[in-house]
Chains A and B, each alone.
Chain A
Amino acid sequence: MTSLAAEFLKLRTTRVPCVLLLVVVLLSGTFAAALVGSNSLGDDRALELAQAGAFVGLLATVLGVLLVTNEYRHGTITTTFLAEPRRIRVLASKVGASLLAGAVVALATALVIAAVALPWLAARDEALALDLQAAEAVGRLVLAFALATALGAAVGAIVQSQVGTIVIVFVWFLVVENLIGVLSALLFGELGEPDPVSRYLPGSAIGGIVGGQGAEFVLRSGPSILLTLGYVAVLAAAGAFSMSRRDP
């Protein structure tokens, strides 16, 4: 617990994570406003509003990346290893702290989305009940952000270079996964139709946890959660290996 508290203190005492939280919250609020304002909410309104937050899940991954690579970039990893020479424990605390930090960001996001959307919908006589469905939507967003952040920490532990990790993460999620989707659609079906491959890739798996519009392109929530957990576990194991082997 103290190591988790230490990791949280490291996040709180620098500016970038706080700015990142603000950006995530503002973007999510804007997307939610766009959804409500353009009357484009479908049947499952709670889930689709949660999706407004999930759109910026990549920034949660960046938060996890920073939690690990900041220490390599500024040399504080040396003092961290002096305090905890068992490097696997260092990574375990960082992955744990990432899960929690991701959950906190998701809750803040959900609050802002609710603050934007609920009064607006109520004013239009389309009030959204805070029922079990709404709770499930928030729960899915929390899981998606927690795992997305932990994934970033794991990749950061493998690569260690901050710029390198951020480039890899952005290129993978924004370019490579889409390319694979296009290729797979061309090979196995038609463009614009769900393809059999891309739903198993990490970005789609994280998106599948929340679901919402376009759910036919991703796995259902349960399998998405398990698949993402698998990705996080495998990448964290590789990160632990890389951290233990490569001396800072």
Chain B
Amino acid sequence: MIEVDRLTKRYGSVLAVDDLSFRAEPGRVTGFLGPNGAGKTTTLRALVGLLHQTSGSATVLGRRYEDLEDPVRTVGAILEANAFHPGRTGRNHLRTLARMARISDARVDEVLGLVDLAEAARRRTKGYSLGMKQRLSLAGALLGDPRVLILDEPANGLDPHGIRWLRDLLRALAAEGRTVLVSSHVLTEVAQLADDVVIIAKGRSVTQAPVPEVLARASRATLVRTPQREVLLAALQGAGLQAEPHGDDRLAVQAETAVVGELAAARGVVLHELTNESGTLEDVFLELTEDGRTPS
């Protein structure tokens, strides 16, 4: 389990993280979202002991990172996508990590196979694509078969196949009971991957809840296309429903599809299309992280 409790980090006069608290539970993938500069990376760095926070705590399995007995076998982390010596081969990069954590070279080859880098393993990393570097970082994070994964933008630079592969891998790791915390700005990705989300803006938490609950908050609308738009609009408004023209030949109605369909049938209005436009994580995200909005 990951626990951030009243974490605050101040750089001079700038509050990068402001009294932030949240948890990431084992067996679940927690998406950590926020606009650029919201304090995501700062929070993740505090979790792995890479920065001195101003106040508050960030712990993994109830301990500060520097107090973990065997950090590499407890926590796997990606903080920077390109933290390699360009002249060192991918395999040798992992071997240096493995040597520090007393992990065998056999395990190095195993994780290289797992991230599909076995072929490129003996090439210098300066020739790697961004996607290959991301997979090498992930191999490093998985080296110690850790119970907790802390990944900062792990999908950056991956192609669509890579993204699907990463999603399946992280879901499988969470299903084994591991705690997975993933920051991202690709919201559609997170919507498909995460069980829970924590959304922050300007260093503060704006919402944290299971994904279905967050999606339920998004405003829903029914879109209806009809050749008798004016007739239906008058009928809907007459029934006390909020409706307005949408595009050239549609209406957007704040009501369930069934309500709109039944009303149209009762008035004998012809419908060409009736769809439920459900809210997306993106809608919620944009709404919550808008400038000037007071965080809750």
Contacts of A74 in B (CB 8 A): 83-86
B72 & A82 in contact (Cβ 8 Å cutoff): yes
B72 x A75 contact (CB < 8 A): no
Min C-beta distance of B69 to chain A, whole Å: 11
Q: With A75-B82, A80-B100 in contact, is A86–B51 under 8 Å at CB?
A: no
A11 to chain B, nearest CB (A): 10
Which of A2-10, A151-159, A198-206, A213-221 forms contacts with chain B?
A: A2-10
| Contact of B97 with A79 in the complex, beta carbons under 8 Å | yes
Shortest C-beta distance, B261 to chain A (Å), equals 57
Cβ-based interface call for B49 (8 A): yes
| Cβ of A133 under 8 Å from chain B | no
A129 at the interface (CB under 8 A from B): no
How far does the Cβ of A10 sit from chain B's closest Cβ, in whole Å? Answer: 5
Contact across chains for A247 and B52 when beta carbons are under 8 A apart: yes
Q: Which of A79-97 contact B (CB under 8 A)?
A: 79-86
B87 touches A3 (CB 8 A): no
Count residues on chain A whose CB falls below 8 Å from chain B CBs: 26
Q: Is the CB of B80 within 8 A of A75?
A: yes
Q: How far is the CB of A86 from chain B (nearest CB, A)?
A: 6
- Residue from B66, B82, B97, B100 in contact with A3 in the complex, judged by beta carbons closer than 8 Å: B100
**CA separation between A82 and B89, bound complex, in Å?**
20
With A and B bound together, what is the CA distance between A79 and B85 in angstroms? 12
Please give me the residue from chain B that is nearest to A244 by CB atom: B52
Q: Are A13 and B92 in contact (CB under 8 A)?
A: yes
**B190, CB-defined interface residue at 8 Å:** no
Chain A, residue nearest B92 (CB): A13
Give the residues in chain B near A6, CB-CB below 8 Å: 96, 99-100
Is B286's CB within 8 Å of the partner chain A? Answer: no
* Residue ID in chain B nearest A16 by CB atoms: B87
Closest beta carbon of chain A to B92's beta carbon, Å: 4
Closest chain-B Cβ to A13's Cβ sits at a distance in Å of 4
Residues in B60-101 with C-beta less than 8 Å from chain A? 65-66, 68, 71-72, 75, 77, 79-80, 82-89, 92-93, 95-97, 99-101
With an 8 Å Cβ cutoff, the count of chain B residues facing the other chain is: 33
Say whether B50 contacts A86, CB under 8 Å.
no
> Cα distance A9–B99 when bound, in Å?
8
For residue A178, CB closer than 8 A to chain B, the reply is: no
Pick the contact of B88: A13, A78, A245 (CB < 8 A): A13
CA gap between A174 and B148 in the complex, in Å: 50
> Would you call B34 an interface residue if the criterion is a C-beta within 8 Å of the partner chain's C-beta atoms?
no
Taking the nearest CB of chain B, how far is it from the CB of A240, in angstroms? 15
CB contacts under 8 Å to B, within A84-142, are: 84-86
Smallest CB gap from A247: residue in B = B51
A14 touches which one: B45, B52, B85, B99 (CB < 8 A)? Answer: B85
Query: Contacts A2-B102, A14-B88 given: A79-B52 contact, CB under 8 Å?
Result: no
Within 8 Å by CB of B99, from A2, A16, A70, A81, lies A2
- Contact A2:B49 (CB < 8 A) given known A15-B87, A86-B66: no
Chain B residues within 8 Å of A16, by CB: 87
| Cα of A81 to Cα of B101 in the assembled complex, Å | 11
Complex CA–CA separation, A9 to B96 (angstroms): 6
Please measure, in the bound complex, the distance between the C-alpha atom of A201 and the C-alpha atom of B86, giving whole angstroms.
Answer: 37
Tell me whether A222 is interfacial, beta carbon within 8 Å.
Answer: no
Question: Quick check: A82 and B71 within 8 Å, CB to CB?
Answer: yes
Cβ–Cβ contact A79 & B50, under 8 A: no
Of all chain B residues, the one with the shortest Cβ separation from A93 is B100
Nearest A residue (CB) for B87: A14
Does A13 lie within 8 Å of B95, measured CB to CB? Answer: yes
Q: State whether the Cβ of B48 lies closer than 8 Å to any Cβ in chain A.
A: yes
CB of A42 within 8 Å of the partner chain: no
Could you tell me if B100 and A75 are in contact, using CB atoms closer than 8 angstroms?
Answer: no
A245, B93: Cα distance in complex, Å: 26
Q: Are A78 and B66 in contact (CB under 8 A)?
A: no
Q: Which A-B residue pairs are the 3 nearest by beta carbons?
A: A75-B83, A6-B99, A85-B66
Q: Mind listing 21 A-B residue pairs with CB under 8 Å?
A: A6-B96, A6-B99, A9-B96, A9-B99, A10-B85, A10-B96, A13-B85, A13-B89, A13-B95, A14-B87, A16-B87, A74-B85, A76-B96, A78-B50, A79-B97, A82-B50, A84-B100, A85-B49, A245-B52, A247-B50, A247-B52
A sample of 9 more A-B contacts (CB under 8 A), given A3-B100, A75-B83, A78-B50, is: A2-B100, A16-B87, A74-B85, A76-B83, A76-B85, A80-B100, A81-B50, A85-B48, A86-B66
Which residues of chain A have a CB within 8 Å of any CB of chain B?
Answer: 2-3, 5-6, 9-10, 13-16, 70, 74-76, 78-86, 245, 247-248
